[in-house]
Chains A and B, each alone.
Chain A
Amino acid sequence: MPAVPTSYYLGLSGVLFTIGMIGVLIKRNPIVIFMCIELMLNAVNLSFIALGRHFGHMAGQMMVIFVMAIAAAEVAIGLGIIVAIFRTKETINIDEINLLKY
């Protein structure tokens, strides 16, 4: 079975990253934004693994483990913040959380 060329993986990674980024930019619900961020992270993970295989190097897979661990921590903190914001402001609409506005 012929191997899938590395460029395909990179292309898929770029598409996923772009979708995630657009989601971050246009969505108002922080939960969805979080999911989009996860998508972006995973797009990067994919490219790491693909390139790791391409060059026959362990560093790509190692990096992915780090990214996944940090992503998990980030989600835990982020969701905690969102819950706290909801308790004080009774909303999680991202456009209404603008205390640092001019």
Chain B
Amino acid sequence: MSLVWLIPGLPLIGFLFHAFLGKSIVKSMGEANGKKTIGAIATGLVFASLLISVLVFLDLMKLAPGDQRQYVSLLPGGGRIPWISIGSLHVYYMGIIDPLSLLMCFIVTGVGGVIHLYATGYMADDKDYPRFFTYFNLFIFFMLMLVLSENILLMFVGWEGVGLCSYLLISFWFEDVENSKAGNKAFIVNRIGDLGFSIGVMTIFAVFGTLSFYTPQGTGFLDMAAKGITPHGILSVGAATLIALLLFMGACGKSAQFPLYVWLPDAMAGPTPVSALIHAATMVTAGVVMITRVSPLIVHSPVAMMVIACVGVFTAFYAATIALTQNDIKKVLAYSTVSQLGYMFLGCGVGAFAAGMFHVTTHAFFKGLLFLGAGSVIHAMSGEQDMRKMGGLKDRIPVTFWTMVCAWLAISGIPPFAGFWSKDEILGSATGYPQYGMELYAVGLFTALLTAFYMTRLMMKTFWTKPRFKDEELGAHSSHGSDDSHSHDGKHQGVHESPPSMLISLVILAILSVIGGLVGIPGHNLFDKFLGPSVASYPLKEGMPVPIGMLLGTACGAVGIAVCVIMYNRRQETGDLLSPKEKASNALYKGSLNLWYVDSAYYKIFVTEGGKVAEFIWQGIDRALIDGIVNFVAGLLGFLSELFRRFQTGYIRAYAFVMLAGVVAVVISVLWPFLRHLHI
């Protein structure tokens, strides 16, 4: 337990090391060796954090479930050291070690370490190698701060920190203005959510008078919420609803839920390891983690739970419909991520917080793997991301193919792969939800069918249908439109399998995607039992019987896959279901392809029209009104000065005369009382 500060500490050391020494190492040790050293340090430190997490986990498991919440200092040397101490507000550099935070530590350092390993291969040709790992280590540090913190303010620091790293890494290749714009979009959209989060934090302080989640004395706001009290009496449903909705607004931004999801697909402009680590496996699940963390508060508000469930299931369905028609392999995965995040919120919304976290875990495995596999495909295609120009890669890059198959079956919900168990648990819990449970379930189940369909479409287009490219042409196209066109020095010709560091990562995640779900089999749900001490339990009705739910879930996945395979097999040559003519006339297809016009509507409302408002505020209020007042005062003083400077004639006698006149005036005024009585 005394080692806990090292879990976030080691990546922080890595960050400082790369930030200050990274470039000089590359210079002094030579390009190849320097990069190897940096990659090894960055990856090694993250795996070291994982090792410490495991040690801490073993310590924690020795305790009884009731004691599985330990308060530890996040600073070396320990002690309850305050960060902020103003009036009754006390915020400490403290962390909580409980199943939830440890689970996230495992995901962040485990999946994060694997993706670090992958990145050492993927980024090997990049000239900004040290900068990449600087940001990557910093991200791990902030993410660990987020999950470990003892109070919601320190969590907010990590929350903003991962947002910063996300921004830096999306626009990592900032020479291309599109990448910078994507980074800006992510940052700005997240600000909207963070507004809700920060107001939520203030509301928590106003209601509970503390920001700590839990304290040993039982005075944390979640301690109180679990008992349904505040320092001033009973916790009202209104206050709980307000806080829950404000925090959920923050979660919507960070975890890309409707209507704030628009930044995530654009975030794919970053390097693929970034998409895998930040925008699939870890950061975007921060919202789910936060909602799960405050679950004892959330369960007091049925309204907020209903909102979370509805937004979640709608986002899941909506994003899946968009993923059906995208042609960029990473865009499909991005919308798929949005959709899967929707499932997680559906789980939280219906009170199955553990199920939501279970899906976070399995999703980290299979979606991380899908992104890494996509990166491997892009690498093999020398930077091509458009699936219309792929096809037939099955035998060319076998390791990538077989690992992708594992992830594909996992996300499609085929037992016994990881995604099946978690998705099934969420959907099963939804059937037990008191209001509209079956409706939520039906939408979720249909979305599962869509998920299987669009993932199969991705696999068909990439691996099975006939090749739609010529080997000689690869790498010859301009870098425009493909974000991963890292420099190739000509040694790779045609389709090529990725280097071993990337393949090892793929295999590790593939194994996890296959067996990762076995910890949460209904009946022997070790996962729920493990997470139990961290989450609130919500009384669900008796839902649909588990075997029927599993059968329906599997059937949906299988039907989705089967339909897709049959349809694409009939279109082996083109790899396209619709002819160009059908595409032009099919409104549904066009709507989905154009993201249901939401992005363009946002652009029109907020960028164009909002820009006009900003223009008015700039020109009308700032320049005309405020600058006008300031300039008027300055002009007035200038005018008066112009008048009075005339007194400075430069003639000494003029000055002397004024002085004389002044002296006479003073003398007369002093003597006036006497002169009055002279009666001259």
A residues sitting closer than 8 Å to B (CB atoms) are 21, 24-26, 94-95, 97-102
- Residues A102 and B652 in contact in the complex (CB < 8 Å), given A21-B660, A25-B657: no
Closest to A21 in B: B660
The interface residues of chain B lying within 8 Å CB-to-CB of A21 are: 660
Give the distance to chain B from A3, nearest Cβ to Cβ, in Å: 26
Contact yes or no, A98 B651, CB < 8 A: yes
> Which chain B residues in 125-166 approach chain A with CB under 8 Å?
none
B residues sitting closer than 8 Å to A (CB atoms) are 645-646, 648-653, 656-657, 660
Q: Which of A25, A94, A99 has the most CB of B within 10 A?
A: A25
In the docked arrangement, what's the CA distance between A93 and B73, Å? 83
Choose among B645, B653, B656 the residue that contacts A102 (Cβ–Cβ < 8 A): B645
Closest to B652 in A: A94
Contact yes or no, A101 B653, CB < 8 A: no
The interface residues of chain B lying within 8 Å CB-to-CB of A101 are: 648-650
Choose among B645, B648, B656 the residue that contacts A24 (Cβ–Cβ < 8 A): B656
In the docked arrangement, what's the CA distance between A21 and B661, Å? 12
Choose among B646, B648, B656, B660 the residue that contacts A100 (Cβ–Cβ < 8 A): B648
Contact yes or no, A100 B650, CB < 8 A: yes
The interface residues of chain B lying within 8 Å CB-to-CB of A100 are: 648, 650
Closest to B660 in A: A21
- Residues A102 and B646 in contact in the complex (CB < 8 Å), given A21-B660, A25-B657: yes
Closest to B657 in A: A25
The interface residues of chain A lying within 8 Å CB-to-CB of B653 are: 24-26, 94
The interface residues of chain B lying within 8 Å CB-to-CB of A97 are: 652
The interface residues of chain A lying within 8 Å CB-to-CB of B652 are: 94, 97
In the docked arrangement, what's the CA distance between A26 and B657, Å? 10
Return the 6 tightest CB-CB contacts between A and B, nearest first: A98-B650, A101-B650, A102-B645, A102-B648, A25-B653, A94-B652
Give the distance to chain A from B680, nearest Cβ to Cβ, in Å: 16
Closest to A98 in B: B650
6 additional A-B pairs beyond A95-B651, A97-B652, A102-B649, beta carbons within 8 Å, are: A24-B656, A25-B656, A94-B652, A94-B653, A98-B651, A102-B645
In the docked arrangement, what's the CA distance between A97 and B649, Å? 11
In the docked arrangement, what's the CA distance between A25 and B654, Å? 8
In the docked arrangement, what's the CA distance between A99 and B652, Å? 11
The interface residues of chain B lying within 8 Å CB-to-CB of A102 are: 645-646, 648-650
In the docked arrangement, what's the CA distance between A97 and B653, Å? 12
In the docked arrangement, what's the CA distance between A101 and B645, Å? 9
Closest to A28 in B: B653
Give the distance to chain A from B657, nearest Cβ to Cβ, in Å: 6
In the docked arrangement, what's the CA distance between A94 and B650, Å? 9
List 24 A-B residue pairs with CB atoms under 8 Å apart, sorted by A's residue number.
A21-B660, A24-B653, A24-B656, A25-B653, A25-B656, A25-B657, A25-B660, A26-B653, A94-B652, A94-B653, A95-B651, A97-B652, A98-B649, A98-B650, A98-B651, A99-B650, A100-B648, A101-B649, A101-B650, A102-B645, A102-B646, A102-B648, A102-B649, A102-B650
In the docked arrangement, what's the CA distance between A95 and B648, Å? 13
Q: Which of A94, A98, A102 has the most CB of B within 10 A?
A: A102
Closest to B641 in A: A102
The interface residues of chain A lying within 8 Å CB-to-CB of B651 are: 94-95, 98
In the docked arrangement, what's the CA distance between A26 and B652, Å? 10
Closest to A94 in B: B652
The interface residues of chain A lying within 8 Å CB-to-CB of B645 are: 102
The interface residues of chain B lying within 8 Å CB-to-CB of A95 are: 651
Closest to A95 in B: B651
The interface residues of chain B lying within 8 Å CB-to-CB of A25 are: 653, 656-657, 660
In the docked arrangement, what's the CA distance between A20 and B661, Å? 15
The interface residues of chain B lying within 8 Å CB-to-CB of A24 are: 653, 656
In the docked arrangement, what's the CA distance between A26 and B651, Å? 11
Give the distance to chain B from A33, nearest Cβ to Cβ, in Å: 8
In the docked arrangement, what's the CA distance between A24 and B653, Å? 7
Q: Which of B645, B653, B656, B657 has the most CB of A within 10 A?
A: B653
Closest to A33 in B: B652
In the docked arrangement, what's the CA distance between A102 and B647, Å? 8
Give the distance to chain A from B588, nearest Cβ to Cβ, in Å: 80
In the docked arrangement, what's the CA distance between A98 and B653, Å? 11
In the docked arrangement, what's the CA distance between A50 and B509, Å? 114
Give the distance to chain A from B465, nearest Cβ to Cβ, in Å: 87
The interface residues of chain B lying within 8 Å CB-to-CB of A26 are: 653
The interface residues of chain A lying within 8 Å CB-to-CB of B660 are: 21, 25
Give the distance to chain A from B273, nearest Cβ to Cβ, in Å: 70
In the docked arrangement, what's the CA distance between A96 and B645, Å? 19
The interface residues of chain B lying within 8 Å CB-to-CB of A99 are: 650
Closest to B651 in A: A95
Give the distance to chain A from B164, nearest Cβ to Cβ, in Å: 55
The interface residues of chain A lying within 8 Å CB-to-CB of B650 are: 98-102
Closest to B655 in A: A100
In the docked arrangement, what's the CA distance between A26 and B648, Å? 18
Give the distance to chain A from B205, nearest Cβ to Cβ, in Å: 60
Closest to A27 in B: B653
Give the distance to chain B from A16, nearest Cβ to Cβ, in Å: 16
The interface residues of chain A lying within 8 Å CB-to-CB of B649 are: 98, 101-102
In the docked arrangement, what's the CA distance between A21 and B657, Å? 9
The interface residues of chain A lying within 8 Å CB-to-CB of B657 are: 25
Give the distance to chain A from B97, nearest Cβ to Cβ, in Å: 76
Give the distance to chain A from B437, nearest Cβ to Cβ, in Å: 87
Closest to B642 in A: A102
